[in-house]
Amino acid sequence: MEIKAVFFDIDGTLINDSRTVLKSTEKAIHSLKEQGILVGLATGRGPFFVRPFMEQLQLDFAVTYNGQYIFSRDKVISATPIDKQHLQQLIAYARKNRKEIALGTRDGVFGSRIMSFGLSPVSQWSSRFVPKKLVKSVTNGFNRLIGKVVPQNTQELSALSRQPIYQVLMLATPQESEQVAEQFPELKFTRSSPYASDIINQGTSKLEGIKRIGEEFGFDISQVMAFGDSDNDLEMLSGVGLSIAMGNGTSKVKEIAKHTTSSNSQDGIHRALEHFGILASEKVFVSSDPHFNKVKEFHGLMDESTQEEPIVWSNQDAIHRADFKLEELVEFVQAASQGEEEFDAAIRQLHAALDKAQTKVKSKKKAEVSLTGQVDALIDLLYFTYGSFALMGVDPERIFDIVHQANMGKIFPDGKAHFDPVTHKILKPDDWEEKYAPEPAIKAELERQIRAYQRNQSIAAETEKSQS
């Protein structure tokens, strides 16, 4: 299925370790927009932080504060502040238990100098060098030290809480966050930093925010590609059609994503878009047919080259390609046969049909090498295939994307295809069956289409009944 929208997390994804957007990323976003693909951000940051990126990159929309505040270039799509009662209870808890917190408004994050420092470029950069096993000690020590020098201003928090607050940040280890979360089941605790929790409403998330934008702009969640690196990206990456983990991402993110690219400082975004054929390589031409572009990208990786000038197939290569197609046709007939006896009889009919086709074709014209003849035959074959889907009542768009992702999943992490040294057959990564095997996904998509048809029939019947 064609990707209609791409979303990027910001920290550790859209921007590199120097807090800038790579030139390759800027170029990729420009190319996406030229293709008519919508581009947005999905971040735990607030709208005040996001707007400069929106202007710089001419982005279409943003999901901020982990889904609490959503806006496009010309309007606010959704704003869901934290319930005042829950907010006051959280502030009281933080005061009682000496937990440093900050409140996120539309215009900034206020109320804590510690948290302000934690959100700064210096702190974000330095946190990458703290071993995971020391995070708790660093967090607690930093909290105690700065808390004594610059105690939290509770009056400022009370005054701020009168405004719409879309996210609360609390300085706490993952273990401490779990303990606090037990006290506030109506709130959701997620993390984009090793030192702090992002606290939002239950039922909201980056994924839900993307769904809300999809309703506004007319795309389905399955038509979304998303990039992320942190644990607050997990729900988003598990729910979109195509999920990409950055090479610098957490282990959980890499486990759940369908593909892991290089890091945010090594052209990870550009490489992933090329990998899936959404962004054409500079060395190849771009077709207006997105399906062709995806297949071409696959062959570019598989064969380590692409064909840019139209050429004819040699006789032996044409036979080789036809052999691939014949195998699929045999599988097609097998899937229409009840038992081996009926299947064998069908194959005999195919042999007879092949002889008949040979006689028919020879009677029409003399055999000769012809680019036009090859293209005419292949496009008819493609047209017949679409015709078969039309007569089956099956929409192949999403199914094509499933098969494409399965084929791209055969590319190893080094970006290359690996082949058996004896048989020369393409090898599959160890996790291919688990992540990419297409049959279960095809079955699920067909069941979805059947349910959609039945639902439409039911609605039509109810409408007809109510009008009679």
- DSSP alpha helices (H): ranges in 132-265? 135-149, 154-160, 174-183, 206-217, 234-239, 251-256
- Residue where a domain stops, chosen among 180, 201, 222: 201
Q: What is the percent of the chain with per-residue pLDDT over 90, rounded to a whole number?
A: 64
Residue range 313-363, pLDDT digits in tens: 999 999 999 998 999 999 999 999 999 999 999 999 999 999 999 999 999
Mean pLDDT of the 371-397 span: 95
Domain contains 441: yes
Highest mean pLDDT among 209-213, 259-263, 415-419: 209-213
Domain contains 466: no
Q: Same domain, yes or no, for 55 and 94?
A: no
* pLDDT of 388 above 90: yes
pLDDT at 19: 86
Count: domains in the chain:
3
Burial 228-265 (b: 16+ CB within 10 A, else e): bbbbbbbbbbebbbbbbbbbbbbeebeebbbbbbbbbb
* pLDDT of 64 above 90: yes
Domain contains 362: yes
* pLDDT of 41 above 90: yes
pLDDT at 287: 76
Residue at token pair 């997390």: 9
pLDDT at 127: 45
Residue range 269-327, pLDDT digits in tens: 999 998 887 886 555 566 778 888 888 888 888 877 788 889 999 999 999 999 989 99
* pLDDT of 195 above 80: no
Residue range 94-120, pLDDT digits in tens: 888 888 899 999 999 888 766 554 444
Where does the pLDDT of residue 425 fall: very low under 50, low under 70, confident under 90, or very high at 90 and above?
confident
Mean pLDDT of the 385-400 span: 95
Q: Same domain, yes or no, for 270 and 310?
A: no
Where does the pLDDT of residue 158 fall: very low under 50, low under 70, confident under 90, or very high at 90 and above?
confident
- Residue where a domain stops, chosen among 233, 248, 276: 276
pTM over 0.85: no
Give 227's contacts (C-beta < 8 A, 6+ positions apart): 6, 7, 8, 9, 13, 14, 244, 246, 261, 268, 269, 272
Q: Same domain, yes or no, for 29 and 89?
A: no
Relative to beta strand 242-245, strand 259-260 is: parallel
Mean pLDDT of the 43-56 span: 95
Across the chain, what does the average pLDDT equal? 87
Q: Same domain, yes or no, for 312 and 417?
A: yes
pLDDT at 327: 93
CATH number of domain containing 381: 1.10.3420.10
Where does the pLDDT of residue 196 fall: very low under 50, low under 70, confident under 90, or very high at 90 and above?
confident
DSSP 8-state class, residue 4: -
Domain contains 461: no
Give 138's contacts (C-beta < 8 A, 6+ positions apart): 130, 195
Mean pLDDT of the 191-220 span: 92
Round to whole Å and give the CA distance between 17 and 124.
9
- Which of 65-79, 192-206, 253-267, 415-429 bottoms out in mean pLDDT, i.e. has the lowest? 415-429
Where does the pLDDT of residue 214 fall: very low under 50, low under 70, confident under 90, or very high at 90 and above?
very high
Give 106's contacts (C-beta < 8 A, 6+ positions apart): 46, 47, 48, 69, 79, 164, 166
Q: Same domain, yes or no, for 125 and 176?
A: yes
pLDDT at 130: 44
Domain contains 226: yes
Domain contains 95: yes
Residue range 121-156, pLDDT digits in tens: 444 444 444 444 444 444 455 555 545 445 566 667
CATH number of domain containing 271: 3.40.50.1000
DSSP 8-state class, residue 419: B
- Residue where a domain stops, chosen among 179, 201, 223: 201
Q: Same domain, yes or no, for 115 and 260?
A: no
Q: Same domain, yes or no, for 67 and 92?
A: no
Distance in Å from the first CA to the final CA of the chain: 40
How far, rounded to the nearest angstrom, does the alpha carbon of residue 465 sit from its chain's CA centroid? 42
pLDDT at 85: 94
Contact 76, 70 (CB under 8 A): yes
CATH number of domain containing 173: 3.30.1240.10
- Amino acid at site 114: I
How far, rounded to the nearest angstrom, does the alpha carbon of residue 434 sit from its chain's CA centroid? 18
Q: Same domain, yes or no, for 12 and 161?
A: no
Q: Same domain, yes or no, for 384 and 255?
A: no
Domain contains 304: yes
Domain contains 430: yes
Total count of residues recorded for the chain = 468
Q: Same domain, yes or no, for 89 and 155?
A: yes
Q: Same domain, yes or no, for 221 and 252?
A: yes
Structural domain for 144, as ranges: 84-201
Q: Same domain, yes or no, for 43 and 88?
A: no
